[in-house]
Structure 1
Amino acid sequence: MRITRLLIAVVSAATVLTTGVTAASAAPRVGHYVALGDSYTSGPFIPVQRTDPLGCGRSSANYPSVLADSLGVGDFDDVSCAGADTTNMTRPQSVPFGGTNPPQLGALRIDTDLVTLGIGGNDFGVFSGVISTCPGLRKADPTGSPCQEHFTKSGVDTVKTAIGNIEPRVEAVLAAIHQRSPGARVLVVGYPRIAPASGYCPDILPFADGDYAWLNEVEQDLNQTLENAVDADGNAAYVDTYGPSRGHDACARGGSAWINGKDQNVFVAAAYHPLKAGMAGMAAVVLKQAR
């Protein structure tokens, strides 16, 4: 009788422990996750595109969506939007097809416990200026640095100067995030590499040869600005995707590219933007730090 009771007690205890472990593993590790950012977060043209609103180019396969699924997030709000800059964190953004994306910080709650922020490249027209100008200058000086020369006025690189002015804007956004969601872990996600560390692929990335190195410098400066803002904030973390994306630039062959080249494909990805593979790669990098 004593043995029977002992066995029942052991089985009962094991059942409770097993149930507890199962419940703990099934519980979401993140209760509420909010993704903020621009097109390098939203993923324009990457299938499947969401319609809330359609003009934001928000993909259900972007890195926030992959991250949310991997973490088993309980409540996920992706409010990233193509074309957004730091001002659209607190102001509504008009988007194509007559839609409006509300101020992105409006998605934050007092109980939000994870926030990712990918922003800065559109401030002062940095990304759009480079992408819209450089390819058209290659023909005149294919082996030179015509784009860098174009943006250099009286010996001053105006693109890099503009990038230097982005840091206080990002700091202000981080301060606003902490105010709205004081308990949230905040990850600032940098931009992945567009151009290769060496070599050229003008059929895919039609920059002049000398402008490849300059494009890398511009990206490195932008990412350093984001990291500096994180350091000044003191309550966020920076996620480097530039380093891990080495070998996955737009020129990468064999399906290893994370970034689309010059050809816009409404069924794959926007020109000069992350591919689905790029979003998966970025998600893996962010996930490693989020865990």
Structure 2
Amino acid sequence: MPRAASTSTNHRPGRRRWRSALTGGALLATALAPWAAPARAADGAATGPYVALGDSYAAGAGIPAASGGLCLRSDHNYGHLLAADLRTSAYRDVTCAGAKVSALSAAQTDAGIPVNGPQLDAVSRETGLVTLTVGGNDLGASDLGFVDAVALCTALAPTNPFGAPCRDHYKDTLGTRLDAAAPRLTQTLRTIRERAPHARVLVVGYPSVIPADAKRCLGKLPVTTGDITYLRSVLGELNSMVSRAATAGGATYVDTLGPTEGHDGCSAEPWIESLLPASPTLPLHPNTTGERVMADAVLRTLGH
């Protein structure tokens, strides 16, 4: 969705992106054969260039040490960890916080100012491995995506504390947005296949942001129990959409929800932080451990 232009010097893109994330936290307090793996040296190291694409979950936004300017990219995101594990000969990280599916093929802007170029520009015929996590921001009216939905659920909770006011508000809206994003993601994955015909392309799903047992969030997340269940279902629909698009686009889906189950923001040992992160990261995003677990899920898919 386009962002509204700002006329104040206090609303520069970098500040807006951090404030948007912090404000969200405050409001909350076809079937194709497997593609060839990248070429490897005798010691098992990846020799083909590796390109990481995607949104804030792929960028590790908010985790020190940050790089990538307005994209809030961290050198502790799962792509960097994976590149180190694979000992790849070349690695390029073009992930960016706030990226939607459209940001893979078109420039990403903030208040009309360029934030990141088209991420697919980093993919070439020589590319040996591509990972991406994207689709979550297509749920929301802004670049906060799933966080938008949780923020609204928080705001609506007092209107019906024992019901599911957020679910009643959205009705089929979020499902419709996911349906619209699915063909765009599929086409993007096909474009990656055309540009990098020998690459292994892995679509990394979203981790366990919301627990399966809604009661675990009582007193920890200011959302009604009914809407916790609803948000978990939305997370499931998001991962299902991403998985289907991966299959249709000739890529491999990597499940990260299962490996992070029981370590959401309502847990005693969170790998995905809650609305007010206890470890450095954005609200409802993986911390350093969460990114490590996501990298390990990709490694297992690659056969390591």
Same-fold status (TM-score > 0.5): yes
1:211 counterpart letter in structure 2: D
SS of the residue aligned with 1:200? helix
Name the CA shift for 1:69/1:97 in 2 (closer, same or farther; >3 Å). farther
Whether 2:138 is the aligned partner of 1:123: answer yes
Of the two, which has the highest radius of gyration?
1
Q: How does 1:60-75 map to 2 (within 5 A)?
A: 60-75=75-90
Contact 2:201 2:251 (C-alpha < 8 Å) held by counterparts? yes
Q: How does 1:134-283 map to 2 (within 5 A)?
A: 134-152=153-171, 157-198=172-213, 199-233=215-249, 235-253=250-268, 256-263=269-276, 268-283=280-295
RMSD value, Cα: 2.0
TM-score, structure 2 length as denominator? 0.80
Please give the per-residue CA displacement for 1:214-266, whole angstroms capped at 9, x wherever unaligned.
11110111111111112222x2100011122211111110xx3121111157x
Contact 2:127 2:196 (C-alpha < 8 Å) held by counterparts? yes
Give the whole-Å Cα distance in 1 for the aligned partners of 2:159 and 2:99.
Answer: 32
Contact 1:30 1:114 (C-alpha < 8 Å) held by counterparts? no
Whether 2:53 is the aligned partner of 1:36: answer yes
5+ residue gaps, structure 2, are 1-40
Deviation (angstroms), 1:277? 1.1
Give the whole-Å Cα distance in 2 for the aligned partners of 1:193 and 1:78.
Answer: 24
1:182 counterpart letter in structure 2: P
Deviation (angstroms), 1:104? 0.2
Contact 2:216 2:267 (C-alpha < 8 Å) held by counterparts? no
Deviation (angstroms), 1:98? 5.7
Please give the per-residue CA displacement for 1:31-82, whole angstroms capped at 9, x wherever unaligned.
20000000111111101000x3x11110100111111111111100110100
Give the whole-Å Cα distance in 2 for the aligned partners of 1:164 and 1:97.
Answer: 27
1:181 counterpart letter in structure 2: A
Name the CA shift for 1:211/1:188 in 2 (closer, same or farther; >3 Å). same
Name the count of aligned residue pairs.
258
Deviation (angstroms), 1:135? 1.4
1:101 counterpart letter in structure 2: N
Give the whole-Å Cα distance in 2 for the aligned partners of 1:203 and 1:33.
Answer: 43
Contact 1:245 1:258 (C-alpha < 8 Å) held by counterparts? yes
Q: Percent identity?
A: 40
2:267 counterpart letter in structure 1: A
The residue that corresponds to 1:24 in the other structure is: 42
Deviation (angstroms), 1:161? 2.1
